[in-house]
Amino acid sequence: MKFLKIKSYAKVNLSLNILGKLRSKKHNIESLITFVNLYDLIYLRPINSYRHKVYFTGKFAKGINSKNTVSKLLQTLDKKKLLNNQKFEIKIEKNIPQQSGMGGGSMNAASLINYFYNKKIIKLNKKRLINLANLIGSDVILGINPKNSILSSSSKLIKLNKKLCFHVLIVKPNFGCSTKLIYSKVRNYSKAKYNNSKQSFFRKKNIINSSNVLEKIVFKKYPKLMELKLFLLKLSNVIFVRMSGSGSSILAYFYSKKAAEIARKEFRKKFNNYWCITSKTI
């Protein structure tokens, strides 16, 4: 049987505030979330086997071990007997850098959940689907039906049909940021801003005036990332520059593809050993 191909899009935080800690000891965050046209490719097909086969290829596959989000998802689905003993061969071409703050692994799991759910391979109501996503990882829920989203202070996720149409230059140095380490250094908390479903939060003026509160922590530990942001802010026609998640990717936002491409060429001149790509919000 031929492989089916699924695109697993990168998640980007347009803003991120930390409000405190939950009873689970995880941090309570609120965020404006979008997705960009950078994606891992997931190839899958059902197989006659007693176990699933999962492997990773591509530029950013190095170092992914057997304890990954996709394997965890499949193990959870088997344990809950949701796949009816069906096994799958899954090959994932990694185009999203690891430890970049763009949720590559979490979005892989979310993309597979979307596929299994839409094809009625797994049959769950909305509440159980959310519970399944949360079992795999805290970010996985963001990729269930990937759309521009508001993660509110009450942990409610509001999906919007509104499109942003930003062009972006995404850059990442040759090191990543550990989410666990960065969050362990959080000492100050923000006041909640996104405590209702107002679509006005996604107005461009509001997004431009927002921030990622983790930047201060990350830039203190990795001054090179501050240098990158300052360089990007000086580029022609840039609207704003922001780190995604806990880093280490930083995105410069533009209104046109041409402006983003010019920026990429300028970035390459100074940082030719760093990964960068132009893309667009979807």
Peptide bond into 248 cis (omega under 30): yes
Question: Around 237, how many Cα atoms within 13 Å sit in the side-chain half-sphere?
Answer: 16
Give the residue among 204, 196, 104 at the shortest CA–CA distance from 162: 204
d(C-alpha 104, C-alpha 100), whole Å: 8
Q: Are strands 87-93 and 53-57 parallel, antiparallel or unpaired?
A: parallel
For residue 146, give Cα distances in angstroms to 33, 159, 213: 9, 8, 23
d(C-alpha 147, C-alpha 12), whole Å: 11
For residue 78, give Cα distances in angstroms to 50, 122, 166: 11, 11, 40
Name the active-site residue from 11, 94, 172, 229.
11
Name the active-site residue from 40, 139, 172, 229.
139
Burial class (CB within 10 angstroms; exposed 0-12, middle 13-18, buried 19+) of 239: middle
Annotation marks residue 11 as catalytic: yes
Please state at what angle helix 223-233 crosses helix 257-270, rounded to 10 degrees.
130
d(C-alpha 18, C-alpha 213), whole Å: 7
Catalytic residues: 11, 139
